Amino acid sequence: MANTIEVDGKQFTVDEEGYLADLNDWVPGVATVMAGQDNLELTSEHWDIINFLREYYAEYQIAPAVRVLTKAVGKQLGKDKGNSKYLYSLFPYGPAKQACRFAGLPKPTGCV
Amino acid sequence: MAILHTVNQSPFERNSLESCLTFATDGAAVMLFENGVYAALSGTGVENQMMQALGRLRIYVLGPDLRARGLTEGRVIPGISVVDYADFVDLAVEHQAVQSWL
Amino acid sequence: MSEIVKKFLYLNRRAPYGSIHAWEALEVVLIGAAFDQDVSVLFLDDGVCQLIKGQDTKGIGMKNFSPTYRTLGDYDIRKIYVDRVSLERRGLTPDDLIEIAGEDPETEEEIENLVEVIDRARVSALMNESDAIFSF
């Protein structure tokens, strides 16, 4: 049985770990609903990271591992944001894993 | 009627192309696809074999497989025809039998 | 973190798309990068075709993973080698290959292209220097 989540009255299929089955299905509401399930309210700081991940995937065809994400965020959004303390404060279940899930991406490559 | 030979393996990894060219008789057709498309390029170690084969065989290469591998039509040895999937089907139908050199 | 750093060599010898080897190898390299070892990636024989630029897989309905090679630098993999003779035998030149950017670990200076085309003696030396060779 496939798991689904409901966003604006529409059903979206997710895998057993909660990642969206087809990243082309993604709409921003997917992130909002997934965050709600994790008891998180998304702020513009969260969206910066989610959008960054979607752009990274569009360019490189993979979801980056957490240390790659940290370094790349530091370069693009500023050194104060390119550290794991900041990213974990936004995404307590792990910045790569949780933020990638909200962004509709597969589980990051290189997450052990 | 003649045979359509297909080669989907790289000529640098397997002897599929070599066997194909050995056993294909004059007037037969050869279709290069998947990793077989590397044999169609100019300047390779098998270019001479391909040039000789062109004198007696009709040789085709599948365009979508070339493009997937970053290879432009301009790199293909003149005389080899770049075709699409529909042409591949037509060739298979037009020939007496298909021999796949796997 | 372990004090002992091993020299790992990932050896790529297969063309992309015709088999699953190239993509699997790339995934293993990226996952293995988390272990902070001394990693070299070598493209030999048909493996050099993995780095040809301008790949467009729309016509064959497969995922185009060639852009992913450009993340090797992000994953701190800086030793990326291509066998020159393998290129020549396939009618290819270094200009036909994608560039992979990285940065110098000490100076943090940007390195435009980490891909290095090497001769056969260097290929042999790379193997001889390795503690472990992962072959694909």
pLDDT digits (tens, 9 = 90+) for B23-77: 999 999 999 999 999 999 999 999 999 999 999 999 999 999 999 999 999 999 9
Query: Mean per-residue pLDDT for A27-52?
Result: 94
Owner of token pair 């292209």? C113
B41 and C CB contact within 8 Å: yes
Q: What type of residue is C90? A: R
Q: Please report whether residue C1 resides in a domain.
A: no
Task: Indicate whether A15 belongs to any domain.
Answer: yes
- Per the structure, the count of domains in chain B is 1
The full DSSP string for B11-61 is TTT-SHHHHHHHHPPTT-EEEE-GGGGGGGBTTBTTHHHHHHHHTTSEEEE
Q: Which domain holds residue C56?
A: 7-135
To probe the interface with C, which of B6, B12, B65, B83 has the most C CB atoms within 10 Å?
A: B12
Q: What percent of chain C has pLDDT over 70?
A: 98
Place of tokens 């390195």: C111
pTM: 0.88
- CB within 8 Å of C124: residues ≥ 6 apart: none
Print burial letters for A74-110: b (CB count within 10 Å at least 16), e (below 16).
eeeeeeebbeeebbeebbeebbbbbbbbbbbbbebbb
Quote the longest CA-to-CA distance of chain B. Answer: 35
Catalytic site residues of A? Answer: 111
What pLDDT does A96 receive?
82
Residue among B48, B34, B7 at smallest CA distance from C49 = B34
CATH number of the domain residue B61 falls in: 3.40.1260.10
Q: Tally the C-alpha atoms within 13 A of residue C112's C-alpha that lie toward its C-beta.
A: 0
Q: Kindly list the residues from chain A whose CB atom is less than 8 angstroms away from the CB atom of residue C30.
A: 62, 65, 109-110
Nearest CA in chain B to C13: B13
Q: Do chains C and B touch (3 or more CB pairs under 8 A)?
A: yes
We report the CATH number of the domain holding residue C91 as: 3.40.1260.10
Q: B10 vs B16, B40, B64, C53, CA distance in Å?
A: 8, 10, 16, 19
- A54-112 pLDDT tens trace: 999 999 999 888 888 888 889 888 888 888 889 999 999 988 889 999 999 988 775 54
Predicted pLDDT of residue A111: 55
**Is C81 a residue whose pLDDT tops 90?**
yes
For chain A, the chains sharing at least 3 beta-carbon pairs closer than 8 angstroms are C
- Which of A68, A75, A76 would you mutate first to test chain C, the one with the most C CBs within 10 A? A68
Of B9, B5, B1, whose CA–CA distance to B99 is shortest? Answer: B5
Domain hosting residue B71, numbered range: 3-100
Q: Where are the alpha helices (DSSP H) in C33-79?
A: none
Total number of domains constituting chain A: 1
CATH number, residue A12 = 1.10.10.370
Interface pTM, i.e. ipTM: 0.87
**Residue C23 predicted with pLDDT over 60:** yes
Q: Model confidence at B1, in pLDDT bands (50, 70, 90)?
A: low
In terms of Cα–Cα distance, which of A30, A27, A25, A21 is closest to A1? A21
pLDDT exceeds 70 at position C68: yes
Centroid of chain to Cα A87: 11
In a domain, C2, yes or no: no
Count of the separate structural domains present in chain C: 1
Nearest residue, CB atoms, A61 vs list C33, C68, C74: C68
Q: What token pair was written down for C54?
A: 């301008």
Q: pLDDT tens for residues C84-128?
A: 999 999 999 999 999 999 988 888 899 999 999 999 999 999 999
Residues paired with B41 in a beta bridge: B76
The answer to whether position A19 is within a domain reads yes
Domain assignment present for C51: yes
| Residue A94, pLDDT score | 86
Report the range of poorest mean pLDDT among B50-59, B74-83, C1-10, C56-65: C1-10
Interface residue B18 vs chain C (CB under 8 A): no
Task: Indicate yes or no: CB of B70 within 8 angstroms of CB of C57.
Answer: no
- Determine, for residues C31 and A71 on separate chains, whether the beta-carbon distance falls below 8 Å: no
Question: How many beta-carbon pairs below 8 A join chains B and C?
Answer: 70
Closest chain C C-alpha to B56 CA, distance in angstroms: 24
Interface test with B, best of C46, C58, C62 (most B CBs within 10 A): C46
The structure tokens listed for A72 are 């790349």
Q: What is the pLDDT of residues B73-90, one digit of tens each?
A: 999 999 999 999 999 999
